Amino acid sequence: MDFEFSEDQQAVLDAVREFCEEELKPKAEETDASGEFPWENLRKMAELDLFGIPVSEEYGGLGMDFLTWAAVGMEISQACTTTGAVFGAHMLAQYPLMLFGTEEQKRKYLTPLATGEKIGAFGLTEPGAGSDAGNVRTSAVLQDGYYVLNGSKIFITNAGPAEIYIVIGNLRPDRGARGMTAFIFETGYEGFTIGKNEKKMAFPSLPNRELIFQDAKTPAENVLAGEKRGFRVAMQTLDVGRIGMGIGAVGVAEAALKHALSYAKERVQFGQPISAFQAIQVKLADMATEIECARLLCLQAAWLKDTGKPFEKQAAMAKLFASEVAMRTTTQAVQVLGGYGYTKEFPVERLMREAKLFEIVEGTSEIQRLVIANHILK
């Protein structure tokens, strides 16, 4: 087994690390506090071709793999958690197009997403369809060459700034998952509007908004993967999305460990840096070990995907483990910083609030355990 990145992968990673150090990290606090979508960061990432890493060159991508995408995502998330979350959510719109898009859909929609010219979002969740993803009630009817949708979506990451949306509607709401169908929507389509933004525990600069469909029309050719295949589209999208959330969680955990390490080396108590005390060393060692395990699980899931092997179980494990590691690591980082860790002077309290998102979004820890159990009991 080879754990080395190839020369090409390493070259991308080196460029990304430099970009993160110079551009993202220095203004990560500002990006978080601003409440503004991080357009400037995203524009620079587009210049570096970071949005289309696993997309083939004919659709504007780099033609690389999900392993590189995952490793890059970890670097971005570690440097700026908000930008990392946008990067992860963007893939939820790209991936179903990569997997199911017709040639025309790929040219029209995948290309601007891969080049970073446009941001994407994925609309599945509804007030009554969260963990129960098969219960989508947004109705869809084919009329005069258009699908007409009525209903709403909630908590949609990137909604607002995004210009391309993959939306799961239902041709037969009475038949649950069996009627679900995926559609492509663009900003400005008749009857399609963006609703309220959620005020959250963390990530104020990351939009999580409602999508509202009131006789909203999308052309018939914008059906993705064919009628009544929407549940499969959603599940397969979430498989990759879970790797995306895993890498975001690893980034948050790594950022917390870095702050804990530097504080422990500087903070003097009882006449020596607290890093000299075994009580602190044990915490730091556990944090580092767990992060390494989470990172390897995420990279393994991405590698399995790249090699065409089943990766769904590993993706769920990666998301589950990495998000719980992020929660444990950030909690311990606050503990290492003590009273200062509880203040807003240091970023670890923010990281702890951010970590909680990953245990919930794109399938709660409980759902990941169900998915894993289904696989191992098969």
**Chain positions contacting ligand COS, by CB under 6 A:** 122, 124-125, 130-131, 133-134, 177, 231-232, 235-236, 238-239, 312, 362-363, 367, 370-371
Q: How far is the CB of 15 from ligand COS (least distance, A)?
A: 30
Under 8 Å between Cβ of 124 and 233: no
Q: How far is the CB of 12 from ligand COS (least distance, A)?
A: 27
- 339-346: list long-range contacts, CB under 8 Å, 24+ apart: 340/263, 346/259, 346/263
Q: Select from 241, 85, 108 the least CA-distant residue to 186.
A: 108
Helix (H, G, I), strand (E, B) or coil at 59: helix
Chain residue at closest Cβ approach to ligand COS? 363
In this complex, which beta carbon is closest to ligand COS, that of residue 111 or of residue 125?
A: 125
Per 3-state DSSP, the chain is made up of helix, strand and coil in percentages (nearest 5) of 60, 15, 25
| Residue 117 known to be catalytic | no
b (16+ CB within 10 A) / e for 216-255: bbbeeebbbbeebbbbbbbebbbbbbbbbbbbbbbbbbbb
Residue with tokens 């951010």: 354
Q: How far is the CB of 371 from ligand COS (least distance, A)?
A: 5
In this complex, which beta carbon is closest to ligand COS, that of residue 177 or of residue 317?
A: 177
Q: How far is the CB of 107 from ligand COS (least distance, A)?
A: 25
Residue 213 host element (H or E) = strand 208-219
Q: Out of 75, 126, 324, 362, pick the active-site residue.
A: 362
In this complex, which beta carbon is closest to ligand COS, that of residue 43 or of residue 175?
A: 175
Residue with tokens 């696989």: 375
For residue 210, with 0-12 CB atoms within 10 Å meaning exposed, 13-18 middle and 19 or more buried, which class applies? Answer: buried
Under DSSP, the state recorded for 200 is -
In this complex, which beta carbon is closest to ligand COS, that of residue 123 or of residue 347?
A: 123
In this complex, which beta carbon is closest to ligand COS, that of residue 185 or of residue 263?
A: 185
Q: How far is the CB of 346 from ligand COS (least distance, A)?
A: 31
Q: List, by residue number, the catalytic residues.
A: 362
